[in-house]
Amino acid sequence: MKSRFLTKDGHLSNTTLYLLYLLLAVCYLLGTFIPLMENDSAQHAVMAMRMYLENDFVNLYRGNEAYLDKPHMHFWLAGLAFKIFGISQWAYRIPALLFTIGGAYAVFRLTTDLYKNVPKAYAHYAALIFLTAQAIVLSNHDVRTDAVLTGAVIISLWQLFKWVEYNQLKNVIWGALFMGIAFSTKGLLGLVVIGLCLISHIAYTNKWNVFLRASLWAGFITLLISISPMLYAYYLQFDLHPELVVNEQTDVSGIRFILWDQSFNRLTAKGFEEVSPDYLFFFHTILWAFLPWPLLFYTGMFRRLKALLKARFDRSKYDVEVLTLGGIVLTLLVISFSKFKLPHYLNSLMPVMAIFTAGFLYTIREKEKLLRSLLIVQYVVAGIGILAVLGVLFLTFETPGLWVWTGAFSILGALLIAIGIKADRTAKIVLVTVLVSVLINFSLNAYFYQHLLTYQSGKQLAQYYQEELSEDYPLFIPGNEYRWSLDFYTRQNIPSISPEGLKSLESPVIIATNNKEHLLNLAENDPGISAEIVYSAPDFRITRLSLKFLNKETREALLDEGYLVLIGPNR
């Protein structure tokens, strides 16, 4: 077994590495079958669907309102996927998956470039760490803009690092192209991560002459070309229409917004609710977002920072790559001073953190005492993960099917075998930790989320409407009571209707709502209107889970209801 699954020096063999990639591929594939989650994922899917249905890839709308927040790239890619594959939840997720695969490849390649004499196994470890970071797994089924952004950032960083080192024109062009994709996906955040990583490397290696290279102009030109479609779309929708009302304002420039206002308004919370004044918000968010690796990462970060400070950042005394650590620390400092903070701001840092963590494991490969301690820590993480999985499988919803049990306990068996084998400790840390992530995300994607999404009423309402009502009655929502999953699974942009519109109906319609009392009272107080509940489904804001909801005994009290109400003139 050792010769097949481990190399002679105790590292994971190619067979083992490819099996781990295969298991992760299964987890990611299962994620494509999870129904879309409210709010952002389903909302973004509906916005892309609108582009496709109306063949309008210029204007961004959220319901009936012009949308000025995230730029176009994510929606363009999802709309293109709909054109090729049709409207489906898995088609919506294809761009995210492709950019994540590309990101993992870039992590592998950048690791080999940064650590030139390191065994190739460590580059695979970096890619596996990236693919198992919990925020990355989540971003591929709860798809927003972050998966595309993350892939574009690390591909750009890889290519621009190669340009700094080797001054090849193709590298600066590819790097600038993907930098433009990152900017066209979420604005300046991706450019900040790329720039701070590169500046850290250039400063520590004293390669400031890169800014004198003629090829730099090719990069600037490529960047401008790559962001020009997005800028032009903003110009057409907003700058040419100063009368357009956006966030209760007129004369709004889309170009100014994406080049300046978007990022700096978030830093100051202008136009946003101040989410967290906690300057350590991102530092403790890493503890769950980078699971199951945060303790390894923080151990490496503090040890590396301590050594750099001791050497006073003198490369002659401590020759180590600082592209990763410098980029991570500087980015964390910048975003920590933002007054509007969200956990997924960390996603574009995850590939850099994965490279750093794999590099840290290599630098301590001969420190047996430290490795033994870290292995014990990961055993504790594994134990907590196993208990969490057993809790999910036994205590949350109905009994899992045979194939879920078979899959979960097969992975658990492999994990227990991995704990027992004799291998290089760095290899064992990676093997055990990756299998823990596989066990957790197989159980979540194959079982937990499938049942959880039955408590998001949009899809259930859509399914009933499509099967029983769509041929006879048009569908509306009251006011701006958006239910994005309902739009997506009925494959339409559901129009809204006002109270006055309800009173002037000439034929019956179906209203999807959580507020049945309003409609029933309207009919009760107006003899010319009739209202009847034809279907209801349990409803819960599933992105805000609580122990009371997860407990079968207390869940019922927390549930709301989504309704389909038949309403029309009383004849």
Mean pLDDT across the chain, nearest whole number? 90
Q: What's the rounded mean pLDDT across residues 440-447?
A: 95
The one-letter code for the residue type at 352 is V
Burial of 552 (0-12, 13-18, 19+ CB in 10 A): exposed
Sign of the Cα pseudo-torsion (260, 265, 270, 272, in order): positive
Helix (H, G, I), strand (E, B) or coil at 160: helix
Q: Running DSSP on this structure, what letter comes out for residue 300?
A: H
Report in angstroms the alpha-carbon separations of 481 from 193, 494, 514: 37, 11, 8
pLDDT in tens, 398-424: 888 899 999 999 999 999 988 888 888
| Euclidean distance between CA atoms 414 and 398, whole angstroms | 26
> What pLDDT was estimated at residue 472?
86
Helix (H, G, I), strand (E, B) or coil at 280: coil
What's the rounded mean pLDDT across residues 24-29? 97
Please, are residues 493 and 526 in contact by the beta-carbon 8 Å criterion? no
CA-only gyration radius of the chain, Å: 26
> End-to-end alpha-carbon separation of the chain, Å?
79
pLDDT band at 275 (very low <50, low <70, confident <90, very high): low
Cβ burial of 327 (10 Å; 0-12, 13-18, 19+) is buried
> Residues 380, 431: contact at Cβ < 8 Å?
no
**Could you give the CA distance from residue 223 to residue 179 in angstroms, rounded to a whole number?**
7
Q: What is the pLDDT of residue 448?
A: 94
**pLDDT tens track for 304-340:** 999 888 888 888 777 789 999 999 999 999 888 877 7
- The amino acid that residue 6 corresponds to is L
pLDDT at 1: 46
DSSP string covering 491-552, please? TS-PPEE-HHHHHT-SS-EEEEES-HHHHHHHHHH-TTEEEEEEEEEEE--TTS--HHHHSH
Query: What is the reported pLDDT for 33?
Result: 94
The two structure tokens encoding residue 389: 């999985």
DSSP state of 155: H
C-alpha span between 87 and 247 (Å, rounded): 30
pLDDT in tens, 87-140: 999 999 999 999 999 999 999 999 999 998 888 999 999 999 999 999 999 999
Q: 199: pLDDT confidence band, cut at 50, 70 and 90? A: very high
SS3 62: strand
Question: Residue 176 contacts by C-beta under 8 Å, 6 or more apart in sequence?
Answer: 156, 160, 218, 219, 220, 222, 223, 226
Phi, psi of 57 (to 5 degrees): -100, 15
